[in-house]
Structure formats: structure tokens, C-alpha cells
Amino acid sequence: MSYLKYTFFLAIIGLIAACSSNQKEAKTEKEMPKEQVTTPTPNTNYSTHNVPWSEISSFDKVDFDYLVPYGEAELQIGELRTPLSQDTFPLVIFIHGGCWMSAYNLDHVSTVCADLVKEGYAVWTPEYRRVGNEGGGYPNTFKDIQESVDFARTLADIYPLDLENVVVMGHSAGGHLALWLATQQNLAKNSRLYNPNPLPLKGVISLAGITDLTAYDKIGNDCSTAVVKLMGGSATEMESRYYKGSPINLLPTNIPIRLIHGDKDNIVPISQSEAFAKKAKAKGDDVKVLTIEGGGHFDMASPYSAAWKVIKEELASLVD
């Protein structure tokens, strides 16, 4: 690790300690920096082959630079990866998916996050409480995402992150949460999910994201069955929660939105992105759907897929 990174790491720990004097000693080990390992350079030809989950889960975990807590709960932590440079970096906040379930953590997106670092972005990958974790589900899953994204302000006090160029990217359930962040300013002030001062975003990229919880609950696949668990009941029982938790109901976003989706996705149908884009355009948003022909659900999480080439191009178009 470079001397500069280690110096910034010490500053992070000092700031967190000053802000939270009662923080447990047990977190010390989590906060220790680890050496970043080199991963193979993705195939520059990029191939669309309807990537299976088995391929994504086979990738070795790519180490992070810092593991930093953004809250007091055990899972309120995030991985920060940064380029080896003293420049100010645009920031990508990558929200992992996994049907909002505790069975899937942030490890499976480490490969694509590391690839973004090679492109010159700093990448903050938050973990969050999910269904099956203590405190997971509504409202804490949503509130953890809010807190982890807003925590970028604290990170930027320590490390040279460009908060004028922040893009949130999320895959699947993470795409749902990323789009929901983009619409949160339209929540009523009396909502317990209301955030009075959200971090300004340059754009949001949804990768096979879920946009309408009520419609997705009716799909009937293994992932959609998690919606009821996430929201604490059915759409009939929790109508208000489903409305406030579905990005499609809270438009407009007033920021650029890119929805990237494979036309062979059998986990989250592309109709979720298409319906969102249609309504967002009617509300005046800068939004477009980019269809990956032959692409499946997990192409979005592989740096070797044709989808990933499109994702990086769209990301570059959103930042200065």
C-alpha cells in the first residue's frame, strides 16, 4: 500500500473515533487496510453469453483498500477502492444485489468494482442489512442505503473524492435501491424514509434493476418471492410501503438515469426498465434503456461481458 493511502487511512480512523467515541474495540480489525491484489484484465473483445450465476460466484474476491463503518450496526460497513494516484477521483457507489437477501453479500461484485478502479474511479461498495439479517428489511434496508451513500461526504473529507461527480450504480435488487435513491426527494416529509439532505448525484445506472415492487411480486420466481419478506407483508397489506418503496411511483428524478438490461433476463424482466423509462420520460427525465441483445441477468456483474463495455461507456458519459 502506498504511503499516501496509509496516511489517509489513519485519518479516516481518527475521524470516525472522534465522531463516535463509544465505538467498540471489535471494529478495529475490520478497519485495517489490506493490500489490493491485481486481477486479470478483462477480455477486450467482450462477449455476450448470458452469464450464469455460477460464473459470477466463481470470481475470486478482489481485496479492498479500506473497510470503513458508516454506522454502528455490524453490517453498516463499506469497502473503498481507490486508484493509485493523488488526483481527485469521480466516485462510483456500487450497490450489490441478491434479492435483498442475506445469502448474497458484496463479495460477488468485487471484480467489477476493481475493474472500475482501473478506469480511474474511486468505488465505494456499501454493505447493508438485508432480509435474514437482524434489523433487515423495511425500513432499515432502505435507510442503510441512504446512510451509506450520504457517508461519501465523510469519505471525501479524508480522501480526494470528487463529490461533483458521483454516480450510483446498482445491480438487480441493488438497481432497485439505486433508482429509489434517485427518487427519494419526492417522499413526503412525514415519511420515516424521508431524507432532508441527500447527497447530490450526477446520475444513476440501473443494471437489470427492479423498478416496481408490486409488479415484480407477481412474477413468481425465486427472487420475486423476497419482496414480501423485504416489505414485511403483501402489497395488499402494506400498500403504502410498496408505493413508497417503488421508484416508478416517485418520479421524476431530475437527474440522468440509464437502465441497462439484457433481453434474455429471466430473473428481472426487461419490462421493469421499460415501464420505468416510459413514465420517467413523460415526467421530463433524462432517461434511456440500453438493451443488451442476448444478455441475461448476470451479464451486468461480469467484466468480461458485452454488457460491461456498455456500462463503462455510459458511466464515462455521465461524469466530467
Range of the domain at 251: 3-318
pLDDT of 13-23, one tens digit each? 444 434 433 33
CA dist., res. 154 & res. 91, Å (int): 13
Half-sphere exposure of 9 (CA within 13 A, CB side): 21
Question: Residue 87 has what pLDDT?
Answer: 83
Q: Tell me the CA distances in angstroms from 155 to 44, 76, 82, one per residue in order.
A: 32, 15, 12
Question: Residue 320 has what pLDDT?
Answer: 80
% of the chain at pLDDT higher than 90:
83
Assign 105 to helix, strand or coil.
Answer: coil
Q: Which helix (H) or strand (E) holds 262?
A: strand 257-262
Question: Residue 85 has what pLDDT?
Answer: 79
Q: How many domains does the chain have?
A: 1
CA nearest neighbour of 129 among 141, 120, 114, 117: 141
Question: Residue 117 has what pLDDT?
Answer: 97
Question: Residue 45 has what pLDDT?
Answer: 62
Alpha helices in 170-231 (DSSP H): 173-183, 213-217, 226-231
CA dist., res. 219 & res. 271, Å (int): 11
The CATH number of whichever domain residue 267 belongs to comes to: 3.40.50.1820
Question: Residue 38 has what pLDDT?
Answer: 31
CA dist., res. 288 & res. 258, Å (int): 5
Question: Residue 6 has what pLDDT?
Answer: 39
Which regions in the chain score pLDDT beneath 70?
1-45, 48
